[in-house]
């Protein structure tokens, strides 16, 4: 079968071995995959020909032999450990959940990494009803999920973006304020929660607004810069809580199938929209991937098979 593997100048299609599901795994035919910024970074570190792929949407071709999980023919979305960028993949039913017929393949593929990361980040943030939450990188894949889930939980959402063009649609998704990082750093005014993945100066600028007893949740360092905070960063904020979330660590302690099902339910109820910014073909992925690399994708980038 074909798979999208790492190459010197981006992913390329190659022939790989068919998956051989264990008795506790279903065989899934893949129809769409989402590409994450983390996978672009990983691709640069792995030897050419390496398999990748976390976000998968497809149809169960063969149910798990042990009888667990959905039957053949069920449409599913799934979080793969790797190897998801392929025509077929063996997956534990603990990593997937059915999706309704009304959800298209790109939307289903856009959910797992971004949706679960946002869901878990906001769990670390604690109760959100009536609290103010600053979200950096709000225009990106995870950011757009965070904005919607925080607003749905009753927070006052302050969405931060790098430039006005990245703000597209954020108010409609539930952001009460949309500002650039510079405007946010200059704004002052205490906030209860900061959720950051950008890191560096953006994190430092937004951190200045976190109140004593507030919460900082980090899940990335996109700019790959060291963090410099003022000397009194902690003394000025007694009771501050800091969490760092790593999705593939979280999933070892959580029910991915249940949490994916919660996200699918929110989508089905119209309370969460998987924002798909670009859909490309996996046989010509570069235009869509370039939009992601160049910070032009206001949401998720999806490839269809
Ligand atoms: N810890 C985990 O388990 C986990 C899970 C998922 C994602 N992540 C990480 O979280 C970050 C966001 O992921 P994502 O999938 O949402 O990525 P994305 O869609 O590419 O979004 C990245 C966001 O960061 C902002 N940004 C600021 N400076 C940037 C720069 N120099 N280069 C690129 N983007 C920049 C972009 O917004 P502006 O252009 O408006 O600034 C964009 O909204 C990534 O670093 C990713 O690796 C971590």
For ligand 1, whether the C-beta of 116 sits within 6 Å is: no
Neighbours of 252 (CB within 10 A): 8
Q: Note whether 96 and 26 are within 8 A (CB).
A: yes
44 φ, ψ to 5°? -70, -15
The token duo for 230 is 């003022």
Q: How far is the CA of 298 from the centre of ligand 1 (A)?
A: 11
CA distances from 30 to 235, 290, 303 (A): 51, 23, 11
Handedness of CA 242, 248, 253, 258 (dihedral sign): positive
Low-confidence residues of the chain, pLDDT below 50?
Answer: none
For ligand 1, whether the C-beta of 223 sits within 6 Å is: yes
Q: What is the DSSP letter of 126?
A: -
Counted residue by residue, the chain has a size of 305
Q: How far is the CA of 113 from the centre of ligand 1 (A)?
A: 12
d(CA 94, CA 64): 11
CA atoms within 13 A on the CB side of 220: 25
Residue 9's pLDDT is what? 84
Is the pTM value of this prediction over 0.75? Answer: yes
The token duo for 173 is 């998704």
Q: Note whether 1 and 18 are within 8 A (CB).
A: yes
Q: How far is the CA of 169 from the centre of ligand 1 (A)?
A: 17
């Amino acid at each position: 079968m074909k798979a999208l593997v790492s190459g010197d100048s981006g992913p390329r299609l190659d022939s790989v071995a068919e998956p051989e599901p264990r008795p506790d795994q279903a065989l899934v035919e893949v129809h769409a995959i989402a590409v994450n910024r983390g996978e672009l970074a990983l691709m640069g570190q792995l030897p050419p020909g390496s398999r990748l792929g976390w976000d998968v949407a497809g149809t169960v071709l063969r149910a798990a032999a042990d009888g667990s999980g959905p039957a053949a023919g069920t449409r599913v979305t799934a979080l793969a450990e790797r190897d998801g960028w392929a025509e077929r993949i063996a997956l534990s039913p603990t990593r997937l959940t059915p999706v309704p017929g009304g959800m298209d393949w790109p939307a289903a593929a856009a959910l797992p990494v971004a949706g679960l990361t946002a869901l878990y980040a906001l769990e670390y943030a604690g109760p959100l009803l009536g609290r103010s939450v600053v979200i950096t990188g709000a225009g990106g894949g995870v950011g757009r999920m965070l904005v919607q889930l925080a607003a749905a939980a009753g927070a006052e959402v302050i969405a931060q973006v790098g430039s006005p063009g990245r703000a597209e649609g954020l108010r409609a998704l539930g952001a009460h304020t949309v500002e650039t990082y510079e405007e946010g750093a200059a704004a002052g005014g205490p906030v209860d929660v900061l959720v950051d993945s950008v890191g560096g100066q953006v994190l430092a600028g937004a951190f200045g607004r976190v109140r004593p007893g507030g919460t900082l949740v980090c899940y990335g360092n996109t700019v790959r810069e060291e963090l410099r905070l003022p000397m009194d960063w902690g003394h000025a904020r007694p009771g501050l809580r800091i969490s760092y979330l790593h999705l593939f660590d979280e999933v070892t302690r959580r029910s991915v199938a249940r949490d994916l099902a919660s996200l699918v339910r929110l989508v089905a109820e119209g309370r969460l929209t998987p924002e798909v910014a670009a859909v490309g073909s996996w046989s010509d992925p570069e235009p869509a991937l370039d939009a992601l690399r160049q910070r032009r994708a206001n949401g998720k980038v999806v490839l269809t098979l």
